[in-house]
Each structure stands twice: as C-alpha cells, then as structure tokens.
Amino acid sequence: MHNQVRRALVSVSDKTGLVEFVRSLVASGVEILSTGGTYKALLDAGVAAREVSDYTGFPEMMHGRVKTLHPKVHGGILALRDDPTHVASMREHAIQGIDLVVVNLYPFESTVAKAGVSRAEAIEQIDIGGPSMVRSSAKNHRFVGVVTDPNDYPRVLAELKEHGGSLSDAFRRELALKAFSLTARYDAAIANWLFEQERKDGLTRERFPATAAFTGTRTAVLRYGENPHQTAALYASPNVGGVREPSVTNSEVLGGKALSYNNIVDLDAALALAKEFDEPFVAVVKHNNPCGAAAAATIAEALERGWNGDSLSAFGSVLAFTRPLDLACAEFLVGGNRFVEAILAPGFDAQALELLTHKPKWGKSVRLLVSKPFAPNVRDANELEVKKIIGGFLLQDRDLAAEGPDAMKVVTQAQPTREQLESLAFATQIGKHVKSNAIVFVQGRQVVGVGAGQMSRVDAVHIAARKAGERSQGAVLASDAFFPFPDGVENAIAAGVRAILQPGGSVRDEEVIAACDKHGVPMVFTGIRHFRH
C-alpha cells in the first residue's frame, strides 16, 4: 500500500542536511509543519513552513516543553486512514493527516557525557514530545513514515520520486523498526544515567538496578562466529555519563583482513591485560589466554620477551601494546617464522606501519588497530561485566583489584626478597586474565609458563612447568585461587619455583605452608581470589 505524502511534521535537534531535505519536500508539493528552532532555521533559509502552534491554535509554552503534545498533532499521526470512524473524527475536529514525521531527539547522551554537567541540565535534555511523535508514527507505520536519522534523507527523497510521492510499505516498516530502536536506546541511556546518579548521590545502596537495560549499535556483521556454522555481529554500546574507555569497539582499524569473532574476543582480553600496566608492556594472547607477557625498559624489549615466553603458542596470537609500536617491534615481528592475527596499540610509528602493511604475508592479513592511550587509571569501575546465559544474564563488577608487594602477607618462615615480591605482584596481575584454574610462572617481569583452564590446580602447575622448562629454575608462581592440597606447591618447588603467591583460604592452608617451609620456599597470601571462567 502506497500512501501519498501530503503533509510532513519536521522537528529536529540535529539539523544536519535539514534545509536541503525540506526544500526538496516542498518542491514535491509537501506541506511542512514545524516547531521552535527547526521552524526558525527553515524560515531563515527561505523554506516555506507552517508553525505547529498556528495549526493547533495552541501556543508553545513553558520554554518549548509543550508544543507537539496536542490531539491535532497526534490525531493526525495516529489516525487509521482506512477506518471510517477515525476519518470522521478527523473531519469533526479539523485534524489534518500527517503522513511523514521527521524527528530526532534532544542530545541527552552527549550532554551527560560532558564533564561537570548538572542534574538540571541533564534533565532538561530528556525529550518528551520527540519520542511521543516517534512512537506514534512508528506505531502507525501502515500510513506514516518516520525519519529519525539525517542519513536517511536521500533515501526518503528517492522513495518519493520512485513511488510518485509515496513511501513503500517495506520502507515505512524499516523506518519504524529504526525508530523504536532509537527510543529503546534513548530510554535505556536515561534510566542507566539516573540510576548511576542515585548511587553517586547516596540515595540508593543498590549496585545493580532492578531492571537492567542494555542497547548497542551494530557496527559489523562478521563472516561467522566462533565457528563457521555460527553467525555473528559486533555491537558497540553507547557511552553515557563520561569519557569512553579505550576498547576494541572504539579503536580505529588501520588495515588487514576484516576482524573475526575470535579476533575481537582475543583482542578484548589482550587489551584488558595491557590496561593493568603503566609501563612498556606487551600481552600475547591466544584463545583468550595470555601465553606470553612482559614488561621492560622499551616496548621492543617487552615484545621480544613477551613473545619468547611461549614462542610456539605465540604464532597466530593477538598482541596488545601499552606504547606505540615502533620500527624495532615491526622488524622483530616480520623476522623469522612469526605471524600474528591482530595487533592493538596506542599508535604505530610511520616506518613500522609501512613495514607491517607492505611485508608479504603481513600486509594483507594482519589486522592493525590503534586505540587512544591507556593505563590502569582509564578503567571505568562503573562499567559492569555481562555474562549471557540461556534465559537471562549475569552482571558483576570488573575485577580491578591489584595486590602490590605491600599488600602481601608472608605466611612462611622463609622471607621473600623485594625482587621476588615485585615479580609475584606482576605474576598475579597476569593471573587475573588467565582462565581458571590458573597458574603463572614468572622470571623477573616476563611470563615463562602458563597453566590455564584446568579442572585440577596440580595439572595447571604441571602445564606451566612444562611450558617454562629450564626457566622454572628460580621462577616465582602466582595462583588465582588457593591450593586445596600440598601437591601443587610440591610439584612447583620440584620444578624449580622459589617463591609462591596465592590468596589462601583453604582448610589445608597449614599443610600447604608446611610444604613450603620444608623446602625453605617463601609463600605470600593476598586474600583476594581471581577466578576467571
């Protein structure tokens, strides 16, 4: 069914492309109703329009808060043109049909993202009339087209031209879906911001809202999901109330193949690990676990040491850098039989970028992403982690705890050296990002062995020791949770480990401590577990 567009109501906050679009509508014989600043902008541009208050016979008031909430507006939008009783009501009350509604909403999200915005300023940017018109026209999309995105203006004009001044059913349905998606996102942003304000002002002790609202904008349809038989897409969640934390979704892709589902998941894990450090550091992640990581005086040294933590597993990994990637890093990566799937860094030196994008095997394949600079202080503690399960989802705080040397409790007769304490602190920062059960062997500030995702902690120790090989001699060990039996530490000590960190809390802690005392190996407790499932 094609309905002639004879009258359009135009009221927009974002005036991008407005004048040219409305001028074309007028040239097509469409009558324009408009309000406030939109009406003035059209008038100043010499575009013919009728003010809504003139049509309704009711003035705008209360600083524009009340202007479109009127039966002659919503009746004109909501009326079913094929229902005789609706048509009779329109005739009786002098309601004219509105066939096209062009509305976008007050900029609430961008307002609350500004530093120092007051609650009153934010509340004033909660649109009422706009969402009401958007929802009315979207509900009645059998007869009314609703345009909420200036990017759709050319398509609207093309449709009107193709269909003799009408919009096709399919196009109106598409616009309605987009409109309801907009109001869902808008209301979610308001609800989430208001909840955070209640927490900030101490008016609620709740950490989690009674109703959790999440929305996202699709930024890519991926080739497939974790496996080729699964479909997948990437969504970016809106930023409400502050500066967006550097992430995979807001990083710029400089080149390489399109990102895959697994690339994105691994890059997210690598970046989360890299954000633990405010020094030259490189995370080497494979299958969502760090197989290597290192901090050093230079980013090139950190890369080499991180890669060599497990060079076998590093092939085909993803990398995250805390410093711009320089030529020395690029030369190391393209030399020898090395290859990675993706690299994320807060910058790429020109020579490094040239080498990585033009070297055979690298240029057309490796994905390069540049993020804003980051350090531990960019992490937003208000950001919640979401775990989807069938029929619902779980929310939790992020694990941002960091146990430095001064927070460690020595529980053995042997005392760790300051150097060992520093290495243990580094090891537990890595361990937070290893799938549980997690064991991490470290030499200095270099990961030399990781045991990840094991059902038995002693098996995780065996794997980490095997990965480390001779580098186990003199290494330190961090465990993400307590040792339930002495066998784990006994195997670690036999492999050459000379200092151990764990949270403690087992009923057999004394037995585990005794095993360390037997061999003169210091052990520290942190009191904080870092499970990662």
3-state secondary structure 148-182: CCHHHHHHHHHHHHHCCCEECHHHHHHHHHHHHHH
Q: Give the Cβ contact number of residue 98 at 10 Å.
A: 28
Q: Which residues contact 160 (CB under 8 A, 6 or more apart)?
A: 5, 25, 28, 166, 167
Q: Give the Cβ contact number of residue 229 at 10 Å.
A: 7
Please pick, among 2, 15, 86, 139, the residue that the annotation labels catalytic.
139
* Helices 487-495 and 457-468, packing angle to 10 deg: 10
Report the length, in residues, of the chain.
533
| Cα(501)–Cα(485) distance, integer angstroms | 15
Judged on CB neighbours under 10 Å (0-12, 13-18, 19+), 130 is buried
Tokens for 508? 């057999």
287 is catalytic: yes
Q: State the distance between the two ends of the chain, measured CA to CA, in whole angstroms.
A: 53
| Element at 492 (helix H, strand E) | helix 487-495
139 is catalytic: yes
DSSP 8-state code for residue 359 = S
Where helices occur in 260-349 by DSSP H, the ranges are: 261-274, 299-308, 311-314, 327-334
Please pick, among 2, 86, 178, 287, the residue that the annotation labels catalytic.
287
Q: Which residues are known catalytic residues?
A: 139, 287
